[in-house]
Amino acid sequence: MPELPEVQTTVIGLQKHVVGLTITDIWSDLPKKTVTRPDFKETIKYSPYFLKFKRNVIGQKITGVYRRAKNILIDLSNGETILIHMKMTGHLLYGNYVQEKKEWVPSEKEKNDALRDPFNKWIHLVFTLSNKKQLVLSDLRKFATVTLLTEKHLKDLGPEPLEDSFDYKTFKAVLLRRPNGKIKQVLMDPKVIAGIGNIYSDEALWLANIHPLSRVGAVPEKQLKKLFTEVQNILKKGIDFGGDSTSDYRQLDGTPGSFHHRHNAYRKTKESCAKRGCSGTIVRIALANRGAHFCNKHQELYI
């Protein structure tokens, strides 16, 4: 599940490998679904757009790659920017590929066997680059979207939690816009803070000793300060470990990250709490159509 650390891990790989290369061709087996119009929030999102996208992208040099929230942004020499959102099971891979029959597979000269991992075989979009290698999108559940960036895409996003300007004052102010909201839901809302999803919200709340159903406005200052610190710590740790590969996520070279070996809460249901001196158990509840995992002892509920 790509959240901020997974997207950042991929962006770091792209900055190292594809900046300076020119896009020479684009292929997709699901052009209408994967490459959406920039106004994809509207009803006509599946109308033909792929040809226009190709005209704007083929022949352009990649001048820079960066991240905003969970979006990968690829700057082109003509001033356009490609936006890629990996949603739940999408991830980008880079290597030597060939098309056999309809499917794209790593070529014989590709020595990196990680690209042959079954999680990496759901290829629905291929950028061929000027060095004859490919940048491909593998996406088992076909939810990822690619388009050209417009102003509308990023305007409602909350602040970036790892930027220097993101201090405790900002954190408190954005959270308190939803004082009666459940703290886990508010943390995951991209309009409040960018980039935090289910995994990292579970882990940050475990570290900060706060129950996920706590009301934002009822959490004492001291605990809120700790949460601010732990949110930043856990996101940085996710990046340091190359992201989380509990599920489909893989780094640009096809290898799994290793943050999922460091979980204390996410998907630890029924296990003993790992906090020192805590005799609690990790439990799972449904919250906002997904799972919330937390320790039934040391995470305090503030209502």
Q: Footprint of DNA on this chain (CB under 7 A)?
A: 1-3, 33, 41-42, 69-70, 85, 87-89, 140-143, 156, 177-182, 185, 188, 190-191, 197-199, 266-267, 284, 286-291
Q: How far is the CB of 273 from DNA (least distance, A)?
A: 19
Q: How far apart are CA 39 and CA 19, in angstroms?
A: 27
CB of residue 187 vs DNA: minimum separation in angstroms? 11
Q: Quote the CA–CA distance of 106 and 124 in Å, as a whole number.
A: 14
Give the CB-side neighbour count of residue 249, counting CA atoms within 13 A. 27
CA neighbor of 296 nearest in space, from 205, 219, 234, 217:
205
CB of 58 to DNA, least distance (A): 26
Closest CA to 201 of 130, 138, 294, 129: 294
CB nearer to DNA: pick between 7 and 26: 7
Taking the least distance from each CB to DNA, the nearer of 21 and 66 is: 66
User: Which of 75, 203 has the CB closer to DNA?
Assistant: 203
Minimum Å gap between C-beta 275 and DNA is 21
Closest to 206 (Cα-Cα) out of 302, 274, 288, 270: 274
Nearer of residues 16 and 177 to DNA, judged by Cβ: 177
CB closer to DNA out of 133 and 250? 250
Minimum distance from CB of 78 to DNA (Å)? Answer: 25
Which residues lie below 8 Å from residue 51, measured CB to CB, with a gap of 6+? Answer: none
Let me know: does 25 contact 104? Beta carbons within 8 Å: no
